[in-house]
Structure 1
Amino acid sequence: MRNEVRGPAPEADGAFHERSNSGVRRRDGDGRVPAITTTDVQMLSRTEKLPSVVRRMTAGQMLLDGASVDAVAERLHLSNQTVRRYQATVKAGGLAALQKMSVGGRSSVLDQEALEWIALTLQGSARAHGFESDAWTNARLRGLIEQRYGVRFSRVYIWQIATKLGLGHLLSKSRR
């Protein structure tokens, strides 16, 4: 019989790691999640490690395990339409087909420094940038990026940037 370790255990680097639907975040000995580093941002170029791909694969596994479309959508914060598309892909070609799905789009015009600025900005207060509350919204972040870098991105791409940085959860949901 194997010994099972329950709870967080330190990794080789001495830090604790938190596993979540959006990837792995390093924790220090005090249990705090440190700020995103340059190395963290560089690692985002690995497609299979992208939070969106990890979440897609988690959805596929949940569907194979018998979870309903509604349950997967709610648990992973995905639309029902997206989960149904994943379900059709898994039925047609299994998890391998789901993993091969493109993350889409061309490379970002934002460089490493810009991504680091966005990560630090999202980890701070929106109030520090002149907004009336601390909450970050897609529109607020999009406006700041346009103001600072002179490029306007779509609402979807702003969400993708935040998600790739592991910070999508900090953007308030739209109430359309």
Structure 2
Amino acid sequence: MNWFEVKVKYQKIDEQGKEKKISEPYLVDAVSFTEAESRIYEELKPYLGEEFNILNIKRANYSDLFFYDSGDRWFKCKVVFVTLDEEKGVEKKTSNYMLVQATDIDEALSNLTESMKDCTVDYSVQSVQETPIMDVFPYFKDDNGTEDIAGLTPVSDLEPNKEFDSEV
């Protein structure tokens, strides 16, 4: 998976009835910057119409995401895995960042621990911090089990090219 953080700007009417410009980051699973831009328009159009602009798209460095329906916020967790290099006899530490959905930091840590319970490698949680990410749009397969990529047809659904096949 390739995660992209997409910053979107739009106008919102606040509680006092005044228009206010809002900038919010979203996370999108995509194969390229172009697809991330296309997907964010597709995902946000039902909620914001076409009245929003993309300010920035950057790669996000998350090795795993853990979804929990009870959570309404996203927390970035730094997890350090410890492995032993048997040839050199030294410990090797590798840092990974994971995103966990929760309502607060304590729940985020609990959800992370639950998600990592089957991990066979020693690890430690170095930090847990709330992110400004508003929503996450993962890549899903449709009801038929085929990949849901806008405008693309899976190779398995294409008819064979008889002209090409006869040349081989």
**TM-score bin, normalised by smaller chain:** under 0.3
Q: Which has the higher contact order (CA 8 A, sep 6+)?
A: 2
TM-score, normalised to structure 2, is: 0.24
For the pair shown, which has the larger CA radius of gyration, 1 or 2? Answer: 2
Structure in which a larger fraction of residues adopt strand: 2
Structure in which a larger fraction of residues adopt helix: 1
